[in-house]
Amino acid sequence: MLRLYGMDKILDFKITLLPGDGIGPEVVGEAVRVLEKVASKYNHTFDFQERLMGGCSIDKYGSSLTDEALADCQASDSVLLGAVGGPKWDDPKAKDRPERGLLALRKGLGVFANLRPVKVHPALIDGSPLKPEKLKGVDILVIRELTGGLYFGFPKGRDVKDGRERAVDTLEYYDYEIRRIMKLAFGLAKGRKKKVTSVDKANVLESSRLWRQIATQMGKENPDVELEHVLVDTAAMKLITGPAWMDVVVTENMFGDILTDEASVLAGSMGMLPSASLGESTVGLPHEASVMGLYEPIHGSAPDIAGKGIANPTGTILSTAMMLRHSFKLEVEAAAIEAAVDRSITEGARTADLGGRLTTRQMADEIIKNL
Q: Are 160 and 167 in contact (CB under 8 A)?
A: no
**Largest Cα–Cα distance of the chain, in whole Å?**
70
CATH number at residue 351: 3.40.718.10
**Within this chain, do residues 11 and 63 fall inside the same structural domain, yes or no?**
yes
**For residue 38, is it within any domain?**
yes
Task: Kindly give, in sequence order, each residue whose CB lies less than 8 Å from that of residue 1, ignoring residues fewer than 6 positions away.
Answer: 12, 14, 75, 76, 77
Active site residue 201: yes
d(CA 316, CA 274): 6
Where are any strands of DSSP class E within 108-246?
111-119, 139-145, 157-161, 164-168, 195-200, 226-231
Q: Are 149 and 208 in contact (CB under 8 A)?
A: no
Boundary of a domain, candidates 241, 267, 293? 267
User: Which portions of the chain are predicted below pLDDT 50?
Assistant: 5-8, 10, 283-288
Task: Kindly give, in sequence order, each residue whose CB lies less than 8 Å from that of residue 5, ignoring residues fewer than 6 positions away.
Answer: 11
**For residue 146, is it within any domain?**
no
| DSSP character at residue 351 | B
**Within this chain, do residues 108 and 167 fall inside the same structural domain, yes or no?**
no
| DSSP character at residue 235 | H
**Within this chain, do residues 112 and 207 fall inside the same structural domain, yes or no?**
no
Chain mean position to CA 277: 6
**For residue 298, is it within any domain?**
yes
10 Å Cβ neighbour count for 164?
7
The CA angle 217-218-224, to the nearest 5 degrees, is 120
Active site residue 96: no
Boundary of a domain, candidates 252, 267, 282? 267
Boundary of a domain, candidates 267, 297, 329? 267
At residue 240, φ and ψ (nearest 5 deg) are -95, -40
**Beta-bridge mates of residue 167:** 158
**Residues, the chain:** 371
**Within this chain, do residues 181 and 307 fall inside the same structural domain, yes or no?**
no
| DSSP character at residue 96 | -
- The pLDDT score that the predictor gives to residue 285 is 43
**Within this chain, do residues 135 and 82 fall inside the same structural domain, yes or no?**
no
Please report, as a single letter, which amino acid is at residue 308: K
10 Å Cβ neighbour count for 337?
28
**Within this chain, do residues 223 and 332 fall inside the same structural domain, yes or no?**
no
**For residue 208, is it within any domain?**
yes
94-129 per-residue burial string, b: 16 or more CB within 10 A, e: under 16: eebbbbbbbbbbbebbbbbbbbbbbbbbebbbebbe
**Within this chain, do residues 256 and 276 fall inside the same structural domain, yes or no?**
no
Query: What is the enclosing helix (H) or strand (E) of 56?
Result: helix 55-61
- The pLDDT score that the predictor gives to residue 284 is 44
d(CA 140, CA 186): 14
Q: How far from 260 is each of 39, 48, 220, 270, CA to CA, in Å?
A: 31, 29, 27, 10
Active site residue 233: yes
- The pLDDT score that the predictor gives to residue 245 is 87
**For residue 305, is it within any domain?**
yes
Instruction: Provide the domain limits for residue 174.
Output: 129-141+151-267
Active-site annotation holder among 59, 67, 159, 233: 233
**Within this chain, do residues 354 and 280 fall inside the same structural domain, yes or no?**
yes
Q: Are 139 and 243 in contact (CB under 8 A)?
A: no
**Within this chain, do residues 342 and 297 fall inside the same structural domain, yes or no?**
yes
Pairing relationship of beta strands 111-119 and 274-279 according to DSSP bridges: antiparallel
**For residue 5, is it within any domain?**
yes
**For residue 344, is it within any domain?**
yes
- The pLDDT score that the predictor gives to residue 9 is 54
**Structural domains of the chain, count:** 2
Active-site annotation holder among 96, 151, 200, 295: 151
**Within this chain, do residues 30 and 66 fall inside the same structural domain, yes or no?**
yes
